[in-house]
Amino acid sequence: MHISMRPEWMKPSNGIVAAVALAAALTLAGKAGAIDPPPWAGLEDPHLNVVPRTDAERERIAAVTAPPGDFSAPWPFEENPGGAQTVRARDTADAFSQPAANLSFEQELDFRVGNGMFRRLWVSPPASTIASDGLGPLYNARSCQRCHLKDGRGHPPEGPKDGAVSMFLRISVPAPDADAIERYIAGTHATAPDPVYGGQLQDFSLPGHTPEYRLDIRYDEVEVKLSGGEVATLRRPTYTAADLGYGPLHPGAMLSPRVAPQMIGMGLLEAIPTGDILAWADPDDTDGDGISGHPQIVWSTVHDRPMLGRFGHKAGNPTVLEQTAEAFAGDIGISNPLHPAGSGECTAAQTACIAALDGGDPEHGGVEIDRTGLDLVAFYSRTLAVPARRDLDDPEVLRGREVFYGTGCTACHRPTYVTHRLEGGDPASFQLIWPYTDLLLHDMGDGLADNRPEGRANGREWRTAPLWGIGLTQTVSGHSFFLHDGRARSLLEAVLWHGGEAQAARDTVVDMPPEDRAALIRYLESL
């Protein structure tokens, strides 16, 4: 069931106007016996200890984030996309695994402990290693690191001997109506987990249990003619949930492929003021530029209110902590304070899975990873450093930057922000950052559509992916697969898959002189 809302708020010039307008546009409804709708507090960012900005700071921020007019030389601070968290770019697979440069000694200790838990291989219960048991019974990977290898991007399986350990299928079905959603947010597409397979398909299981499926991918090649006589070949995927272990999928099942995203800079993205993101939104394209990004709004379990979604391919989670907790439960089958079921993502229809032993520890609230452990993994995820830019003064890179801006790529891949000023020695505090994303949802056209809505994102919409570090993908991950499902084998292929709101920019890339196209890719490789 599609439930829509078309707010009439315009793209404002400051975040306060945006937040107030969004507050007026959003309403909440609960089940029968509805809960009182909590207010939308767009600028509060309740997950952060925020120090309000002064007028002088706002002026400084406006000046430092204004697009420069001179493209002939590197710009101030451009070399450090993560601000003071930036580290030297390494030419090894560890380039994404470094702690932020501005961590205190105590924070770096927490980073190291969190890293150990991120890499931990979980085992089946019961086990003598009490701190590490609780895997499954159904799962996609045995550790966070198995999906986010070296904290980089996942990839689709390449060949019959390559497993899909860093890729899986999300699944949902149409909900009968909004009342089926516990805390429905207006504008949300009413969906529910599959009654048998839940919210994602797991392709591994413990002994005695049957995996839910095997991911099968078939590619058809599509040629794209480019200016100058060049030709690019795209691969169009078809996904099948094969060898289903628990009977057929629901007749209305909607599947969406996802590869694990890179991990760098997440704490900085979390620290961007909500108002600054909302100020960029223009859902009705009131300025006529063809770009109509809108915010994802999701329910925060931790803060018991609707919040801006930031993380995941469709921005389905509001905070790093909630993204971490969901991944533990869904990907590894590890219970935690936010997802306390010992059987992980198993459904009531999977009776053997529900009845299986779990690794819940009574001394830690009966869950398999407690809040302390969850916080340490979340801290690690927040403080993975962004590597420095490379080759800033290379003439081709400089030309590529000019092409990137001139083609309109920055309408969605917003270059700069200044994060909140935060209390408590938070390393993300008041940093000028260059993530190249607006963190909004955009229609990317039929070619990239998964036809599976999620929250306020329809089946053609995706969150703008950050571009920082994208040029180090081959170095870190050993491959150059991009987009939400890894179909693109190069940055050029990724650009050519853009449609919908990005169609005009994509067509400009197709038609531009080959040397400009090469410069554009060279610039992306420098990020």
The one-letter code for the residue type at 294 is H
The DSSP bridge partners found for residue 461 are 443
pLDDT of residue 13: 32
pLDDT of residue 182: 74
Rg (CA), the chain: 22
Burial 402-411 (b: 16+ CB within 10 A, else e): bbbbebbbbb
DSSP state, 356? S
Burial of residue 448, with CB atoms counted within 10 A of its CB: 0-12 exposed, 13-18 middle, 19 or more buried: buried
Distance from C-alpha of 66 to C-alpha of 302, rounded to nearest angstrom? 35
Distance from C-alpha of 64 to C-alpha of 45, rounded to nearest angstrom? 23
Domain ranges of the chain: 107-221+240-258+307-382
pLDDT of residue 314: 98
Token pair in block for residue 321: 């902590």
pLDDT of residue 434: 98
Distance from C-alpha of 74 to C-alpha of 72, rounded to nearest angstrom? 7
pLDDT of residue 19: 33
Q: What is the 3-state secondary structure (H, E, C) of 59-124?
A: HHHHHHHCCCCCCCCCCCCCCCCCHHHCECCCCCCCCCCCECCCCCHHHHHHHHHHHHHHHCCCEC
Burial of residue 108, with CB atoms counted within 10 A of its CB: 0-12 exposed, 13-18 middle, 19 or more buried: middle
Q: Which of 296, 293, 265 is nearest to 438 (CA)?
A: 293
CA 107, distance to chain mean position in Å, is 24
Whether residue 420 contacts residue 427, with contact meaning beta carbons closer than 8 Å, is answered with: no
pLDDT of residue 12: 31
Which helix (DSSP H) or strand (DSSP E) does residue 314 occupy? none
pLDDT of residue 303: 93
Whether residue 344 contacts residue 335, with contact meaning beta carbons closer than 8 Å, is answered with: yes
Residue-wise pLDDT tens digits, 265-282? 999 999 999 999 999 999
pLDDT of residue 3: 26
pLDDT of residue 177: 77
pLDDT of residue 31: 21
Distance from C-alpha of 200 to C-alpha of 495, rounded to nearest angstrom? 28
pLDDT of residue 160: 67
- Rounded to two decimals, the pTM is 0.91
Q: What is the mean pLDDT of each run of 10 residues along the chain (527 residues)?
A: 26 31 29 31 73 94 91 96 98 98 98 97 85 92 95 88 84 84 83 96 96 96 97 97 97 96 98 94 92 94 93 97 97 96 94 93 88 97 98 98 97 97 96 98 98 96 98 96 97 98 98 98 98
